[in-house]
Amino acid sequence: MAKKIVKVCVDLDILLDFLTGDEKASEKIEIYVKTKDTELCIAATTLAELYILTKSEEIVEKVKEGFIILPFDENAAKIAKEVYDALEENKWLIKNIQMSKVYVASTCIAHEAFLLTKNRQYYSNIPKLKVL
């Protein structure tokens, strides 16, 4: 039987650190570059943030070539409600978390991807989300 490919979705914090040359972020990403049967991905919403943050579209185009883009599709949209409901149980989380993180978490759950992030405090209480 064919081996299952493990998807690792890189959150904006680690992605930005890596793209700006940070060694720690690079080491983390290198682990998954070297790991067999893994695909490094980013959420489409993270891609949107990257477009917003950078002056050059050319840079984002290069990033698109390297990472698989996980779309925020109908399934992810539906899951976003479950994610938001779960976050609402924690007053601090729901007050401080940005919607972009809800979309990233929903995208990961929808595509069965692990999330690689520095912001574990925001994501750790989300059911079904696998955080690295």
Q: Which residues are at the interface with another protein (CB under 8 A)?
A: 1-3, 5, 12-13, 16, 18-21, 26, 29-30, 33, 37-40, 49, 52-56, 59, 62-63, 65-68, 96-98, 100-101, 122
Which of 61, 45, 60, 66 is CA-nearest to residue 115? 45
CA 115 – CA 102 distance, rounded (Å): 12
At closest approach, how far in Å is the CB of 114 from another protein?
15
- Least CB distance to another protein at residue 63 (A): 6
Report the run of H or E that residue 7 belongs to, with start and end.
strand 6-10
Reading the block at residue 104, the tokens are 């990233």
Nearer to another protein, 78 or 121 (CB): 121
